[in-house]
Every structure is written in C-alpha cells, then in structure tokens.
Structure 1
Amino acid sequence: MAVSDLTALESTQARTGLRRRSLDRVLDSVGIWPVMVAATALYLLVFVGYPVVYNVVMSLQDVTVSNLRSFDRPWVGLANYERIFSDPLFPVVLRNTAIFVGLNVALQCIGGLAVALFFQQPFPGASFLRGLVLAGWILPPLVIGAVWKWLLASDNGILNYALQSLGLLNSPVFWLSDPSTSLIAVTMANVWFGLPFNMILIAAGLAGIPRDLYEAAALDGAGPIRRFMSITLPLLRPTLYALVALSTIYTMRAFDLIWTMTHGGPVDSSNIFPVWSYRLSFEVFDFAGGAAISTLMLLVVFLVALVYVRSVRAEKQV
C-alpha cells in the first residue's frame, strides 16, 4: 500500500473517531439514558399496562356484544366474580389447573435439572444432542400441539404403536378422547415443550459453580450424591427459585397447546383457566366473565412473583 493511501486511511479513521466522540458528548449532554428509560416505560404502559387495566375494568362491568365497542357499560362490581365462583365448572377447572401447573412445574424442574447434569458431562456429540433438545423449544406451541396430537392418536399414533409393540398395551389408549387420560396427555406435551427452557437456566446456574469445590470435596472422599446434595443443590437454590416462579407463570398462561390438542375436552377434563376464559369470551360471548377469569390469573401470577422476590431477598440477607 502506498504512503499516500496509508495517510488517507489514518485521516479517515481519525475523523471517524472524532465524530464518534462528538456524538457521545452530545448524547451525554442531552441525557440519552433518561430518554431510553422513558421510552421503555411508555412502551410498557401502552402495550402492557393499558390491556391489564382495561381487562380489570371490563371484569367489573356488564359487557355484551352490543356494548363491546363502546365504553357505555353498566358497572356491576364483583358480580362477575361471584358468578364465576358459583359456576359448577369452577371447581373442575380449578382442580385441572392445579394438577396441570403442579405436575408441569415439578416435572420440568426435575427433568431440566437431570438433563442439564447429563449434558454437563463431556461425551462425544453432546453439543449436537443439546441442540436437538433446544430445537423443540423454538417451535410455536401450536406446532407442538399438532405434533403431539399426531403422536397420541389412538389409531395410528406412534406412542400406542410403540407400547403395543413392546407388549405393554393390549389395546390402544384413547389419550385425547378419554376424560381419564386427556389431562395427562396435555401435561406430557407441555412438560416436553418447557423442559429445554428449564435446562438452559439450570445449565447457566451450574456453569457458575466453581469446579474447585467439587475437586476439594472429591479429595475429602465425598461421592457424587454427597457432592450433589452439599454443593450443587445449595448453590443452585437461587436459580431453582427463579425456575419455579417462571415455570409457574408460563404454565398458568398455557393455552395454544391445549387448545390444539383437546380444546379443553372431552367433558372439560383438560379445561384450565386460560381455556375457560377463551371459551367464555369467544364462544359464549361472556366477555366480562372471561375478563374476570383473566384477572384472577393475573392475581395468582402476581402472588407467585411476589413470593419469588421475597424469597430471593431473604436468600441474599442470609
């Protein structure tokens, strides 16, 4: 390269650096960070705060198809909530939701921990297999629901075929059309769908544990179980707290997968609160009832988040 070219290049770089420093000084002088914070707050108010407030207000009104587009709606107070609580379907949906959320949180956390510990061990093809596990999490819930609906089909489903081939079943199981198995079916699908997310969080927590602790414990004669109970679990406690809270919140809003597989049936055997809210709002056009159920779900999610924040705060003070 010629001397003139080098000189021109250096001059261009110097001018670029000067412009960048000038831009930084201008941004600092106008206070760009308050502007960014204000923009974020405005976004949250418009796209999160307004829908939440609108839903809460609608749950306190008598909303019908005729007055849905207008804001001239009579106030009924807590009448919609009283109607939801007195509905014969409420205890059924409450039981289904409790079973669905409880099983999903427990199995996703335990399964995610097991898979994360498995992939922590060095072996050929670990990265490839980890990528395959994560591939299922990338897919939309509608696709996951369609795939599992095909896997659990009574006539030509892969699961029934495999179990019958192994001699574990004499006749096919009607996973999605039998009230005694439909909730189990959607739970299996949702656990499989959410397990990679739990694995990622736990793997990040495991990566933050110093290897020196395991080496020192091994030198002291501690076995794998003892190292897991004395080192891994205590140091993973903050991660597990976050995992339980996030899994509960994500499972509480599960709708797409269940709607694709069972529509909440048969006979409301897999009906949970998000599905019930949707059916009230868009099948029966009971918008106020659907809003009341959504508000109750929001309250549960808020309580879970509050318990998580308090537990983390108490953990830091210890």
Structure 2
Amino acid sequence: MVVVVDTISNPLRPRHPEKVNRPDSTSPPKPNWIRVRAPNTPGYAETRNIVRANGLHTVCEEAGCPNIGECWDKRHATFMIMGDTCTRACAFCNVKTGLPNPLDASEPEHLAEATAKLGLSHVVITSVDRDDLADGGAEHFAKTIRAIRARCPSTTIEVLTPDFLRKEGALETVVAAKPDVFNHNLETVPSNYLTVRPGARYFHSIRLLQRVKELDPSIFTKSGIMVGLGEERNEVLQLMDDLRSANVDFMTIGQYLQPSKKHHPVIRFVTPEEFKSYETIGKTKGFLMVSASPLTRSSHHAGDDFVRLRAARAAEGC
C-alpha cells in the first residue's frame, strides 16, 4: 500500500519549485527523438491572433508545450480558463504561481467565440488551480461548457480539470454540464507526489475519476502521466491498474521536459520502444485507448482521439 502524506498547511501559500527537495538539477542531454519544428507557419499566426483578439490564455503557451507549432498550425488550441496564475506550484509546471485575479465573467462567451472562429469540431478546456475559490472554479467550467454548447452545438467538449481538493460539490457541477470527455491528470506515480505534485493527493485524484463514471457513465474519462521523473516501470504498471479500477477509458503517457533549471530535472529520457511497450500493456489492461510517445500530451490530437474513442466504445457495444 502506498501512503501519500498530506503536506498542505495553507493551500494559497505560494510554493517555489526551486525550494523543493529533489535530485541534482542537471538533466541529461535531449535525444534526437525529442526535436520539434519551430512555430512559424501562417496557420500558427492565425490561431495566435484569434487567441489574442479574445483575450484568452492557452496551456500551449503558458506551459511551454513542445507541440504548439504543430497544433496551432492546424488551428487547434487548448484554452486555459480562470487566468494565468495558479494557486499551487508543482515542480514540473511552467505556469506562474501566486494569488490570481478575480474571474472574468465574460470569459465563457469569449471562449465560445474563439471556438467558432477557429472552426473547432472538438475543443479542450483546462485551467489553473483556483484553491482561492469556494468551488475551485467548477461553476466557471460549467458556464464555459454551456456557452460553447449554445454557440457551437456540434462541437464536442473535453475538459481537463484540477482535482477540486476539498471543494464539496465541485465535481458534480462540472459533470452536470455534460462534457464529452472528462480528463484529470495524475501527472506521475504516487511515490513522486511529495516532490513533484506536493499540493495534490494521488488517491483523491483516482477517486475523482471514478466518481465521474458513477455520476455519468456516458462521459469518457481520461488521465495522463509524464515519465522520466525517476519512476520505476512497475510503478507505472500499478498506476495503470489503479486507473482501470476507476474505469478510466483513455490514458496518455509522455516524456517530461524540464521547463527551466529551477524545475524538477529530467532523470532520464524514456526511449520510443519503452513508450510502445507501455501502450501495448495498457491496451491489454482494458483501456479503450492508450497514447504513449515522447511527445504525447493530454490534448495532443484530442479531436482525432475522440473519434477513435467513440469508435472503440461502439465496437465493444457499450
């Protein structure tokens, strides 16, 4: 049994990744399979202009996603609601930490407008952690889902939510708005939580995903992790079993990349062959889909993945 110790004394007190006790901060050199092209295409510029015109934030920019050039060239963006400042400071994340501004009541409508202008058939909405809000921002998620439904009724909606830790009724609010996919990332194996994700609780996240299925079995559930943070292979396989025990449909596994020298170092670069092995094993464990590769991210190819998810469910007759 893995025991995750609660270390939160004040969830709003900024934590500084550079002060977290971790291994030597030197990362190994990047292998050739991590290389990506620079974001300089006309499609990228058009997507950026639409995001800017509507005053929106994207996790693509704020978290320094390596796939931004590819995705924005195809007019795909993952919107980050509730501001650009997080109340937590996970050791892997490049989003800034502090006390956020009040919510923008017009944001749901602006996001729906951007979804329409980009012509998105599938939209992914994530957020910073908002431990300062009574519901963790759950109602803002629900308003955003409803605004997109009203403006773009044929667009499918995927949410990538925080854990809503200690926010009673928050999860139920989001599920009641009926997103097509509910994603909540575990990020890493439980033994790494105290150094990598100190504000979160592993088994709370597992239970949150399980609860989504209990509330609405029609919603696809999804979760992802990064590897290269010092985890052992058997820990990844146990995590897969934990997700399947919560009836999670889709798992993503990608390589952790260190955003800066103050963040947790990359312990090692996992080979493409190992990613392929994880994908194969995950499918044997019963996931409808597993996406595992060095550059896999939660929202990478999310629209195409959703089409495959529906097909996989139909093939199983459930």
How high is the TM-score relative to the length of structure 2?
A: 0.21
- Greater CA radius of gyration, 1 or 2? 1
Q: TM-score of the superposition, structure 1-length normalised?
A: 0.21
Which structure's residues are more often strand, by fraction? Answer: 2
Bigger fraction of residues in helix = 1
Q: RCO (CA 8 Å, sep 6+): is it higher in 1 or 2?
A: 1
